[in-house]
Amino acid sequence: MQLTQKIHHLSAQLHQDVTAIRRHLHAHPELSFQEHKTAAYVQAMLKQHGIPFTAGVAGTGVVAYIEGKNPDKKTIALRADMDALPITEANNVPYKSTVPGVMHACGHDAHTASLLGAAQILNHLKQDFEGTVKLIFQPAEERMPGGASMMIKEGVLENPKPSGIIGQHVFSVLPAGTVGFRSGMMMASADEIDMVVYGKGGHGAVPQLTVDPVVIAAQIITALQQLVSRMADPTIPCVLTFGKINSAGGAYNIIPESVALQGTLRTMNEHWRKQAHAHITRMATGIAEAMGGSCKVDITVGYPFLVNDEELTARCKQAAIAYLGKENVYDIPMRMTAEDFAYYSQVTQGCFYRLGTGNVARGITSNVHTPTFDIDEEALKTGMGLMAWLALTELNNA
C-alpha cells in the first residue's frame, strides 16, 4: 500500500475519534492565555497514544515529538493554535459552547483536533519515515503579543531546530475536502491605534464657548484616510480602519471633554509600516492642535506580515495535489487579516495554507469571528491527513 493510501485509510479510521475531540474542544473553549483545560486535554490525548511531549511552554503551550528512523536526520514542525474568542455562540448544535460569552469562532478547535489526528497517523507510520516531526500546540493566537512570539522566545524552534514549519487555518469560502495555497506575502501585519482627543466641553447650543473634540476626531479620521490614498506607495497593500469611537460624557446637547478612537493599521512592508506610524501621530496631533485641542496617540505594534517561503510552499502545494487531486487544490489571494504564525515565518521557512471547511448545501458558510461560525467536520479528514502527508513529504525530501 502506498503511503498516501495508508494516510487516507488512517484518516478515515480516525475521523470519528477526531470529530469527538473537536466537539469536546468546541464545547469547552478557553480564551487566550487561559487554555489550561485545553492544554491538559491535549496532554491526555498524547499520553494515551504514547507520544512524548513538553508542557508549560509559554504558559499553556504543548510541544510533542514523533521520531521516525534516524530521528536526527531532519526535523519539520507542524503548528495548531488552541484559544477561543469572546463571542457568544448562536449555533444550536449538540457541541455548542458551554462557556458563556466564549466560542471557538475561529476554528482553533478544528486546528488542534486535526493536529492530534495527524499525531496519531504519524505515530502509526514511524517506520515509514526518517527524521522527527515537532508538533506545536500553541496558546493565544488571538491576543497580542501572540503565543507564537512567546514560544519562539522559549526556544520552540530549537533543539531540535526544524527546517521549516507548516500550519493550516479553516476557510469557509472553500468547500470541505479542498485546500488553498499562496506563495510569498500571505497576510498583513496588524497594529492597534489608540487615540484620545481632548477639547473643552460645554452646552451644544453655545459651541463657540467650547473646543469640540467630536469635530476634531471627525477631522482626524477623515484626514488620515489620505495615509493610504496619498502617502502610501500604491503597490504596497495597506489598510487603515477606525472601528470604535467613544466620548467621555456627551449627549444630544452636550459637547464632551474628550473622545477616544480605536483603529487598526495593516500593511505588508515593514519600512512603510514605521513611516505610517510617524505620519499618523504627526497628523493627529497637528490637526487637534490647529483646532484648539490636543491628541494623545498610542500605537501598539502587533504581528508582522506573514510570508510563505516560496520553495516550501511550492513543495507543499505539489504534495497536496498528489494527496487530494489537482481539482481540490486552489491558488488563493493574499488577505489583510493577520495571524501570529507570521512570527514563525519571520524566523524559519513557513507554509501557512487554508483548509476548506464550508458546505453550502448544509448552510455552513459563516465567516470566522461570527456567532454562527461552524465547520463541515468532513474537513477534519483532510486536516489531519494532509498535515501528516506534508510532514512526511518534507522529511523524505531531505
Whether 141 is catalytic: yes
Task: Output the CA–CA distances (angstroms, integers) from residue 288 to 10, 209, 212, 213, 283, in the order listed.
Answer: 63, 17, 10, 8, 8
Distance CA 273, CA 267 (A): 7
Q: Cβ contacts of residue 160 below 8 Å, gap of 6+?
A: 72, 75, 132, 134
Helical axes 108-124 vs 3-27, angle rounded to 10°: 140
Reported for 158-161, long-range contacts at CB under 8 A and 24+ positions apart, including other chains, are 160/72, 160/75, 160/132, 160/134, 161/75
3-state secondary structure of 35: coil
Tell me the residue length of the chain.
398
- CA distance linking residue 150 with residue 195, whole number of Å: 27
Single out the catalytic residue among 35, 89, 141, 142. Answer: 141
Q: Which residue has the cell 516531526?
A: 133
Which among 83, 142, 339, 377 is annotated as catalytic? 83
Residue whose grid cell is 452646552: 203
Residue type, 69: K
Cis preceding linkage at 256, omega within 30: no
Catalytic-residue membership of 130: no
d(CA 132, CA 391): 9
Which amino acid is present at 204? Answer: G
197 contacts 261 by C-beta, under 8 angstroms: yes
Pairing of strands 75-81, 294-300: unpaired
Q: Is 301 helix (H, G, I), strand (E, B) or coil?
A: coil
Give the N- to C-terminal CA distance of the chain in Å, as an integer: 22
Residues marked active site are found at: 83, 141
